[in-house]
Protein backbone atom coordinates (compact mmCIF):
# COMPACT_ATOMS: atom_id res chain seq x y z
CA UNK A 1 0.00 0.00 0.00
CA UNK A 2 1.40 3.39 -0.98
CA UNK A 3 1.07 6.61 0.90
CA UNK A 4 -1.50 7.86 -1.64
CA UNK A 5 -3.84 5.02 -0.71
CA UNK A 6 -3.72 6.01 2.96
CA UNK A 7 -4.64 9.61 2.11
CA UNK A 8 -7.89 8.80 0.25
CA UNK A 9 -10.06 8.58 3.40
CA UNK A 10 -8.71 11.95 4.57
CA UNK A 11 -9.22 13.55 1.15
CA UNK A 12 -12.74 12.12 1.02
CA UNK A 13 -13.58 13.51 4.45
CA UNK A 14 -12.26 16.98 3.55
CA UNK A 15 -14.24 17.02 0.28
CA UNK A 16 -17.38 15.93 2.15
CA UNK A 17 -16.96 18.64 4.80
CA UNK A 18 -16.34 21.37 2.22
CA UNK A 19 -19.36 20.22 0.22
CA UNK A 20 -21.51 20.24 3.34
CA UNK A 21 -20.88 23.91 4.11
CA UNK A 22 -23.60 26.13 2.71
CA UNK A 23 -21.87 29.13 1.18
CA UNK A 24 -23.97 32.27 0.97
CA UNK A 25 -27.00 30.70 2.60
CA UNK A 26 -29.57 33.25 3.80
CA UNK A 27 -30.52 33.06 7.48
CA UNK A 28 -34.14 32.19 8.27
CA UNK A 29 -35.88 33.38 11.43
CA UNK A 30 -39.38 33.22 12.84
CA UNK A 31 -41.02 36.60 12.31
CA UNK A 32 -44.00 38.25 13.96
CA UNK A 33 -44.65 41.66 15.50
CA UNK A 34 -47.06 43.33 17.87
CA UNK A 35 -49.60 43.88 15.05
CA UNK A 36 -49.67 40.17 14.08
CA UNK A 37 -52.73 38.78 15.86
CA UNK A 38 -51.90 35.15 14.94
CA UNK A 39 -48.45 35.25 16.54
CA UNK A 40 -48.61 33.37 19.81
CA UNK A 41 -51.98 31.86 18.94
CA UNK A 42 -52.84 28.26 18.13
CA UNK A 43 -52.62 28.76 14.34
CA UNK A 44 -49.10 30.23 14.21
CA UNK A 45 -47.57 30.14 17.69
CA UNK A 46 -44.12 31.18 16.43
CA UNK A 47 -45.14 33.46 13.54
CA UNK A 48 -44.11 32.82 9.96
CA UNK A 49 -40.69 31.87 8.61
CA UNK A 50 -38.90 34.71 6.84
CA UNK A 51 -35.51 35.24 5.26
CA UNK A 52 -33.00 37.66 6.77
CA UNK A 53 -30.62 38.70 3.96
CA UNK A 54 -29.09 41.52 6.04
CA UNK A 55 -28.71 39.67 9.35
CA UNK A 56 -26.50 37.01 10.86
CA UNK A 57 -28.70 36.69 13.95
CA UNK A 58 -32.34 36.20 14.87
CA UNK A 59 -34.00 38.10 17.69
CA UNK A 60 -36.82 37.53 20.14
CA UNK A 61 -38.30 40.25 22.33
CA UNK A 62 -40.70 39.55 25.19
CA UNK A 63 -42.57 42.50 26.70
CA UNK A 64 -44.15 41.87 30.09
CA UNK A 65 -46.52 44.39 31.65
CA UNK A 66 -47.85 43.90 35.16
CA UNK A 67 -51.52 44.85 35.34
CA UNK A 68 -53.90 45.32 38.24
CA UNK A 69 -54.81 42.43 40.53
CA UNK A 70 -51.66 40.45 39.68
CA UNK A 71 -52.49 39.94 35.99
CA UNK A 72 -49.82 40.20 33.30
CA UNK A 73 -49.88 41.17 29.63
CA UNK A 74 -47.12 39.39 27.69
CA UNK A 75 -46.29 40.00 24.03
CA UNK A 76 -43.59 38.13 22.12
CA UNK A 77 -42.06 39.46 18.92
CA UNK A 78 -39.64 37.58 16.70
CA UNK A 79 -37.59 38.56 13.67
CA UNK A 80 -34.24 39.34 12.10
CA UNK A 81 -31.71 41.26 14.16
CA UNK A 82 -31.27 44.86 12.98
CA UNK A 83 -27.67 44.73 11.77
CA UNK A 84 -27.69 46.71 8.50
CA UNK A 85 -25.92 50.04 8.81
CA UNK A 86 -26.26 52.45 5.89
CA UNK A 87 -24.04 55.49 5.46
CA UNK A 88 -23.14 57.87 2.65
CA UNK A 89 -19.57 58.10 1.37
CA UNK A 90 -18.07 60.62 -1.03
CA UNK A 91 -16.57 58.72 -3.99
CA UNK A 92 -15.45 60.24 -7.31
CA UNK A 93 -17.08 63.62 -6.63
CA UNK A 94 -20.46 62.17 -5.69
CA UNK A 95 -22.19 60.70 -2.68
CA UNK A 96 -22.89 56.97 -2.70
CA UNK A 97 -24.86 54.89 -0.26
CA UNK A 98 -22.86 52.16 1.45
CA UNK A 99 -24.48 49.38 3.48
CA UNK A 100 -22.65 47.07 5.86
CA UNK A 101 -23.96 44.21 8.01
CA UNK A 102 -22.49 44.86 11.45
CA UNK A 103 -22.13 42.56 14.46
CA UNK A 104 -23.32 44.74 17.38
CA UNK A 105 -24.98 41.99 19.43
CA UNK A 106 -23.78 39.09 21.55
CA UNK A 107 -25.65 35.80 21.70
CA UNK A 108 -27.88 35.42 24.71
CA UNK A 109 -30.62 37.31 26.52
CA UNK A 110 -30.72 40.56 28.45
CA UNK A 111 -33.65 41.46 30.70
CA UNK A 112 -34.26 45.11 31.47
CA UNK A 113 -36.79 46.73 33.76
CA UNK A 114 -38.64 49.48 31.93
CA UNK A 115 -40.12 50.72 35.18
CA UNK A 116 -41.04 49.15 38.50
CA UNK A 117 -43.73 46.91 36.92
CA UNK A 118 -42.68 46.21 33.33
CA UNK A 119 -39.77 44.29 31.76
CA UNK A 120 -38.29 43.68 28.33
CA UNK A 121 -36.39 40.47 27.55
CA UNK A 122 -34.23 40.87 24.44
CA UNK A 123 -32.57 37.74 23.01
CA UNK A 124 -30.19 37.31 20.06
CA UNK A 125 -29.14 33.95 18.61
CA UNK A 126 -27.32 32.49 15.61
CA UNK A 127 -28.69 29.72 13.43
CA UNK A 128 -31.79 29.04 11.37
CA UNK A 129 -35.04 29.44 13.33
CA UNK A 130 -33.13 29.76 16.61
CA UNK A 131 -35.64 32.32 17.95
CA UNK A 132 -38.35 29.70 18.46
CA UNK A 133 -37.73 28.63 22.03
CA UNK A 134 -39.21 30.14 25.14
CA UNK A 135 -35.74 30.25 26.69
CA UNK A 136 -32.18 30.23 25.36
CA UNK A 137 -31.46 26.70 24.17
CA UNK A 138 -28.65 24.61 22.77
CA UNK A 139 -27.73 25.81 19.31
CA UNK A 140 -28.17 23.27 16.50
CA UNK A 141 -24.53 23.77 15.50
CA UNK A 142 -23.49 21.75 18.56
CA UNK A 143 -25.41 18.64 17.48
CA UNK A 144 -22.69 17.28 15.12
CA UNK A 145 -20.04 17.72 17.83
CA UNK A 146 -22.20 15.94 20.39
CA UNK A 147 -22.87 13.13 17.90
CA UNK A 148 -19.17 12.74 17.06
CA UNK A 149 -18.32 12.68 20.78
CA UNK A 150 -20.93 10.00 21.42
CA UNK A 151 -19.70 7.84 18.51
CA UNK A 152 -16.08 8.24 19.65
CA UNK A 153 -16.97 7.29 23.25
CA UNK A 154 -19.04 4.29 22.12
CA UNK A 155 -16.23 3.05 19.79
CA UNK A 156 -13.57 3.55 22.48
CA UNK A 157 -15.66 1.71 25.05
CA UNK A 158 -16.37 -1.17 22.66
CA UNK A 159 -12.66 -1.61 21.82
CA UNK A 160 -11.42 -1.47 25.42
CA UNK A 161 -13.97 -3.62 27.18
Query: pLDDT tens for residues 83-119?
Result: 998 999 999 999 999 988 889 899 999 999 988 889 9
Q: What does the alpha-carbon distance between residue 161 and residue 139 come to, in Å, rounded to a whole number?
A: 33
| pTM of the entire predicted model | 0.62
Q: What does the alpha-carbon distance between residue 86 and residue 101 come to, in Å, rounded to a whole number?
A: 9
Residue 7 lies in a domain: no
Residue 53 lies in a domain: yes
* DSSP letter assigned to residue 114: S
Count of domains observed in the chain: 1
Residue 110 lies in a domain: yes
pLDDT of residue 146: 54
- Give yes or no for a contact between 95 and 88, defined as CB atoms under 8 angstroms apart: yes
Domain that holds residue 69: 24-153
pLDDT at 44 over 80: no
Q: Distances in Å between the alpha carbon of 63 and those of 50, 80, 133, 161?
A: 22, 17, 15, 54
Between 51 and 74, the higher pLDDT residue: 51
Q: What does the alpha-carbon distance between residue 29 and residue 47 come to, in Å, rounded to a whole number?
A: 9
Residue 117 lies in a domain: yes
Amino acid sequence: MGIGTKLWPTVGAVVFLIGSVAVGEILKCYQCNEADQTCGGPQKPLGHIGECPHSTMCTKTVLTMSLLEGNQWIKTMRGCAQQLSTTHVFVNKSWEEKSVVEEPYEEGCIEEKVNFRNTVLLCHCRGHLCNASSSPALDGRMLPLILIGFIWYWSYRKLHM
